[in-house]
Each structure stands twice: as structure tokens, then as C-alpha cells.
Chains A and B, each alone.
Chain A
Amino acid sequence: MLRPRSLLALVICVAVGCSLPATTFESYRSKAAEAADEVVSQARTAILTAHLAGQDRLLDTAVAAQLKDAEKAAIGVVQSFASVQPPDARSDHLRARILPLLERASDAIARMRFEAKRGDTASLLRLRSSLTEPAEVLERWAESVG
């Protein structure tokens, strides 16, 4: 039986979204899919923001702030997924395939933020293209696992 304090801690932990360990390949894959979805969302945000920046449709400061938030969220997701213990060899294989894609996307968003801070819209738009591919691969994979 859980003590009331432990139960309260568990409820708070679950309520605020703490992640529980992955004990099977399926649960690990589910975590990978969640991470992919989240990074794709941040990548698409960065792509749309860069598109608007390229057409002078957004304040420069807002572009940089939006990219900073996207970068922060993406890095958080990547770090969180990277720290999950893979439960078996299949999970190791999955990790080896997905984590580099997540890192590539997250790194591209970070580099877009640098260019936005420098006010270099041309480089920002170039980097946008480099983000499209990992985002699409991640999206297709996340869709395929449902």
C-alpha cells in the first residue's frame, strides 16, 4: 500500500506530466513517437516563422523570440527522450535511428535562431530548407507508428 504522501507525490508527478520509464519496446516506441511529434511541431513553427520573416510579415524581435521558444522546446524534448533507458535491443536500434533525426532538427532550429538574432534573413531561409527534410522524415515515421 502506498502511504498518503507517496500517493500525493505520484498524483502530482503524473498530473504535471512527469514521464514514467519505458518497460517495453511498445512503450519506448510510443515515447519516440511523442518526441517526434513534438519536434515536428517546433520545426514547422520555425519553418513558418522563417517564411514570415522572409516576407517581412513579422517583427524581427518576434521572429527571434519565436525561434528561441521553438529551440528551447525541441532541445527539452530531445534531452528528455535521449535520457530514457531503452528496454531492449530493438529499442536501442530505434533510438539509434530516431535520436539523430531529432538532434538534426533541433540543431537546425538553433542555427535558425542564431541567424535571426544576426538579422540575416537569407541564411535563415536557407536553413529553413535544411529543416524540412528531418521534419518530414520524423512526421512520416510518427504517422506510421500511429
Chain B
Amino acid sequence: MNLKRVFEVFLGVLTAFGGFVDMGDLVANAETGARFGMSLAWAVVVGVIGIVIYAEMAGRVAALSGRPVFDVIRERLGARPALVNLVASFFINLLTLTAEIAGLAVIIELVTGINYLLWVPLAAVAVWLVIWKVKFSVIEKAFGLTGLLLCILAVALWKIGPDWGSLARSAFEPVVPATETGFTYAFFAIALLGAAMTPYEVFFFSSGAVEDGWSPSDLNLNRANVYIGFPLGGVLSLVIMASAAVVLRPRGITADTLGHVTLPVGLGLGEVAVVVLLIGMFAAIFSAAIETGLSAGYTVSQFFGWQWGKYVRPREAALFHLVVMGSICLAIGIALTTLDPIKVTEYSIVLSAAALPLTYFPILIVANDPTYVGEKTNSRPLNAIAFVYLVILLVVAVATIPLMILTKGGA
């Protein structure tokens, strides 16, 4: 491997790392850290392993067959079941897009002091402009790398100097806190799983592989991104959880706003670090908003067989861009209803978890089909783990709605 290639892989890993955390991860990890300490850390680990398996299969299928997730789903499932799949995925993606755009607006409010609702349309237009104007490779790298500023959370945690042994015990010997029930514990475990395994990440990852023109020679890049970049992103999620567990939980504070994520950094490092964190959060959420906006266009266009992507001129993929624009307009409308952005995020990640089997199962089948991937089908150990995950995801899909009702949405 030459030096340029090594640098490319390194950059890809950093981009995957910086781009891993989004609004869902920020909200779910801060909230669970504040309510459950580190006792749900295992759910993050389960989610990260799940997204690694899922994205690796989707990336491999894209690199070897040149076809992204929804194209394959339609072919394997047939038009009608795939349509049900599309409707569910599109709805959840729209909720996620709404949450990301509202999240951007909330961050601008934290900086300007002006109500976030005024920023929602502007943030959404900025997202659309970047999708329309900026090159795909620039989007990926610029926002992914700026998202690395979130590492300031780890520095703040270190500076606060928590009892690491106690944190580790809470993570490795998990118990349901006395103030919570088994149902809320299970509900938030699902939320963390959904935050780590958001379907749009895979739609974007596999469609992006096609946009970047991945070929079989890019399989190592795919592996490096998912095997190194995603777990590093998972570590960042655990740091968010630990910060909340150390600073908010002992004070009896429930993390129910994005501002709560900044408090541990303010306590540990001060104002400048808070600014760095806000830039990192903005970049990470902006990147996720772009990915979810694009994913809306990817899924619909790939299902209907329209020309899609940013690698062709907008005029040549007009319907794709129309869907992206329409989704952003819908997201603005939903956000402006004044629904709490945190609640929208919670519902989007929990419903994401419930809908995961719809897209995970077809990819698992295709990743074992030599017609698509030639000799590079799943190995036996990978299949064993992937099937265990299929069972987990099916259980989660069945349990999510009853748990949502029983816990009043995790209240």
C-alpha cells in the first residue's frame, strides 16, 4: 500500500470517527448517563458491534456489486414488501432529519441567545445549500473531521477526574438504579441501540460508497472505516454517557436539553472548551442532517429506479434532488410545530431500532449471495454473529412499542 493510500484510509477512519456521533447519540447517551450512570454502557457496545456488522456488509455489497442498500432491497424483496420498507424507512428518516435540523437550531440558540425556532428554516436552507453545492468528498471530510472536536468531552472528563474504578464497576456490573424500573431500563437500552444503529447511516454509507466509485480494491477502506472508525465513535458515545454520569447524575439532573451536554465541559475546562464543543456538535449534527437529507433522496430514488446521487449534475438527477428538498421542507414544518427536539430525537432513535430488521435482513441475505458479492460472502463467524443480531433486532422490534407505552415514552 503506498503512502497516499495509507493517508486516504487514515482520513477515512477519522471521518467515520468524527461523523459517528449525531443528535441521537448526544441525546441518548447524555440522558442515559444522567439517569442510569454507566449501567447501560453495554447497550452502546451492542449497538456499535451491530452497526459495524451491518455497515461492513452494506459497504461490501456496494463495493462489489456497485449497488446500494435500497436498490438491493427492492430486487430481493419485490416491489410491494419493499414499498412497506420504504415507507417505514422514509418516515423514520424524516423524523431523524427533523431532529438534526432542530438540533442545529438549538446549538445556534446556545450561541446567539435567539430562540431556536427562528433558526430552524435558516439551518435547513444551509443544509440544503451544502447538499446542492458542495462536492460529496468535501462534505464527508470537512464535517467528519470537524466533528472530531467532540473529543473535547474526553479531555473534560479527564480534567474533572472521576472515580474511574466506580465508573468501570457501574459499566461492567450493571444494575437497574433504584429510581428506575426494568421497563425504563429496557426502553433506554433500545434507545441506545437505535442511536448507534440508525438506518440512515447505512443508507448513506452504502450509497456514498457508490458515489465515491468504490471497487473491490476499496474493501480495505470499507473495513478500516467500520472496524476502526465506528468503534472510536462508540467510545465517544461512552464518554458522553460518562460525563453525564459524573456531573449530572450525582446532582439529580436529568439531561433533557442539548445544553446539558455542555455543562460537564464547562465544569471541567471552561468557556473556550464549551465553544470548541459547540463547534464540534454543530459539525457532527450538520453532517448527520446532510446524511439524512441525502438518505431521503437515496432511498426513494433507488426504490423507483431514478437517477440519483451527487456524482451526476443536479439536472440529471432532478427527482432525487426534489425528494431531498421536499424532505427538508417537511422537516422544517415538523420542527416548527414546536415539538420538543429532544422528544423528536428520542422517538426517532427508538423507532429506528424497531424498524432495523426491515433493512438489516435483506442486506444479510445479499451479503451471502455470490451473485452480488462473488467470493466475498460472509464468513461463518460473521454469519453467526450477524444471525444473533438478527434475533436481537427482531426481539427489539417486537418489544419497542409495548415498552414505549408502558414507560410513557421513557418518562
Contacts and interface: CB of A to CB of B under 8 A. Distances in A.
Interface string A46-60: 011100100111111
A69 interface: yes
Contacts of A57: 266-267, 270-271, 274
Nearest to B34: A41
A107 interface: no
A41 B254 contact: yes
Nearest to B110: A62
Contact of B408 (A17, A44, A48): A17
Interface stretch (A8-16, A21-29, A92-100): A8-16
Interface residues of A, number: 30
B161 interface: no
B191 to A, nearest CB: 14
A58 B263 CA distance: 8
What bracket does the count of chain B residues touching chain A fall in?
Answer: 20 to 34
A133 to B, nearest CB: 15
A58 B271 contact: yes
A62 B404 contact: no
A79 interface: no
Contact of A17 (B113, B260, B409): B409
B381 interface: no
B404 A15 contact: yes
Contacts of A103: none
A30 interface: no
Nearest to B404: A15
Contacts of B401: 15
B253 A41 contact: yes
A76 B247 CA distance: 25
B267 A52 contact: yes
B217 interface: no
A15 B255 CA distance: 20
A14 B253 contact: no
A64 interface: yes
B405 A11 contact: yes
A57 B270 CA distance: 4
A47 B271 CA distance: 17
Contacts of B254: 38, 41
B396 to A, nearest CB: 17
A62 B252 contact: no
B369 interface: no
A65 B110 CA distance: 6
A65 B109 contact: yes
B176 to A, nearest CB: 15
Contact of B274 (A18, A38, A48, A62): A62
Interface string A61-73: 1101110010001
22 contacts: A14-B405, A15-B405, A16-B408, A16-B409, A17-B409, A17-B411, A41-B252, A41-B253, A41-B256, A47-B251, A48-B263, A49-B263, A58-B263, A58-B271, A59-B275, A60-B113, A61-B113, A62-B278, A66-B260, A66-B263, A69-B259, A139-B252
Given A56-B270, A66-B263, 10 more contacts: A16-B409, A41-B256, A45-B253, A45-B263, A52-B266, A57-B267, A60-B113, A61-B111, A65-B110, A69-B259
Interface of A: 11, 14-18, 37-38, 40-41, 44-45, 47-49, 52, 55-62, 64-66, 69, 73, 139
A-B residue pairs, 5 tightest by C-beta: A61-B113, A17-B408, A66-B259, A57-B266, A41-B254
